[in-house]
Each structure stands twice: as structure tokens, then as C-alpha cells.
A = this chain, B = another copy of it.
Amino acid sequence: MKKSIGAKTIVYPTPVFVVGTYDENGKPNLMTVAWGGICCSSPPCVAISLRKERHTFGNITATKAFTVNIPSQSQVAVADYIGCVSGKQEDKFAVARLTPVKSEIVNAPFVKEFPLALECKVIHVIEIGIHTQFIGEILDIKVDEDHLGENNLPDIEKVKPFIYAPDRNAYYGIGEYLAKAFSIGKEIKKR
């Protein structure tokens, strides 16, 4: 039996995207975002949602660019720190001892120490409510060479990303391999 729990922002999974930007003076900043996801295959695009009062909001508005960095589960404390403080108060790269690498493609820095980075140019801005959605076209992805798998794609079992669970404000790792997509469902046929 299902129970109504009201209008809430609970779904599974939500990601842990560490968003990299520059301010107007070229100072790098980071922010942790759980509201986002891929939103188009061609052009390849990723969406992130931010509140207007965020330091990163002003940065993206000025530069029209951002990176989405995926931390590994051993980096969970650093990713959480980035979500706990504002770039208005602290130099988060310095405090977290992370290294900003200037993208050669977009006007945004990516994180040297995280295994995966998407370099994005803003192509749509949608005012939804207290969050504004920025849709970024993914112009390139940078991956640590030792986190690549077959076909030169990142390997989820090497990257070891993690998720955010909004029901209890907690982080969880990725679990066991379950099944091949577009394959296991073929067992289910008209009977």
C-alpha cells in the first residue's frame, strides 16, 4: 500500500557534481551540486541547478562556462567540504588542497585530483523557482588515464563515484554490477 508523503525533492539516485568556475577576475571556485544530470545526447549536454545567492551563480553568469568534476568515494570528505562553505568566505581550492587546471576549451577550471571532468559551455538558462537551471554543452571530457577502461571510456569500477541520498543527507557508494542494459530486459516477452 502506498502512502502520500507530499511534494518533496526525493529521488534516487542524485549525483555529487563538483562544479568548477572562475570569477570575473579569474579566481577559481568550486561548489557541490546534487540537482543535475545529463539532459541531451546531441549536442551532449548536462544540466545543473543553482540558487541565485551562490557564488558560483555569479561566476557562471559572467563566464558562461563551468566544469562538472566527479570525485571518487575516497574523496567524499573533500566533496562535502566544498558543499559546506561558500567561495565568498574561503578559497576552497586552497583549503581542500586541490589544484585548479585551466581548461583550454572553456573559461573554467577543472580539478586535477578528481578522476573525471566535463568541460561545459552554457547554452540555456532556465528560471524555474528558487533554482536556476544552467544547461551546459559538454565540449570535452578529461579522464585520468588510469581510470580508463575499454574503448577509451572511463570505467565506473575504477572511478568509484558515489551518490547523494536526499532522504537522509548521506553519501553512498556504487554497489555491485547487476546486469547489462538493453539486454537483460529481452528475457521479458509477450506470453
Which A residues have a C-beta under 8 Å from some C-beta of B?
A: 1-15, 17, 34-47, 49, 68, 70, 73, 76-84, 90, 95-96, 101, 112, 116-118, 123-124, 126, 128-131, 133, 135, 137-145, 148-150, 152-156, 159, 161-191
B6 near A141 (CB under 8 angstroms)?
yes
User: Which B residues are CB-close (under 8 A) to A43?
Assistant: 7, 128-129
User: Which B residues are CB-close (under 8 A) to A144?
Assistant: 1-3
In the complex, A95 Cα to B185 Cα: how many Å?
11
Give the residue among A37, A68, A95, A135 with the most B Cβ atoms within 10 A.
A37
In the complex, A65 Cα to B150 Cα: how many Å?
40
B186 near A81 (CB under 8 angstroms)?
yes
B175 near A174 (CB under 8 angstroms)?
yes
In the complex, A17 Cα to B17 Cα: how many Å?
19
User: Which B residues are CB-close (under 8 A) to A174?
Assistant: 12-13, 163, 172-175
B34 near A38 (CB under 8 angstroms)?
yes
User: Which B residues are CB-close (under 8 A) to A182?
Assistant: 80, 83-84, 169
User: Which B residues are CB-close (under 8 A) to A161?
Assistant: 12-13
B171 near A181 (CB under 8 angstroms)?
yes
| Contact A170-B163, Cβ < 8 Å, known A37-B15, A38-B49 | no
